[in-house]
Amino acid sequence: MPARTGVLRPESVAAAGWEETETDIDVHALHQGFLRGAKVQGAQLVTNARIDAIERRAGAWHLAAGAARFEARVLVIAAGAWAEIIGTMAAPCRSVSCRAAAPQS
């Protein structure tokens, strides 16, 4: 996969997939499906919350957002343009998904 895309560092990739015939996905439908599945599993969606601190201790993520406090076994960073900032706050964490356009040949 790193050789095919030219943008992934081989030492940073544990696994990857490539589908020759796939060109795009319905991002909204995919997101809504993930959200429905997460809610069924007991997830709580929190929006418009400025994250002040993220810690990993005792097998759980602990987040501070102003006066609010959250604890979770799994942390999903869906922060859009702020994902890198939030991800840095959560370091060390394991990234499990990435979507990027491959460079044009």
Contact 65, 50 (CB under 8 A): yes
Total-model pTM? 0.58
pLDDT, position 23? 75
**Mean pLDDT, 10 residues at a time, the chain of 105 residues:** 64 78 84 91 87 91 93 84 85 60 55
Q: Is 66 helix (H, G, I), strand (E, B) or coil?
A: coil
Cα–Cα dist 47/8, whole Å? 31
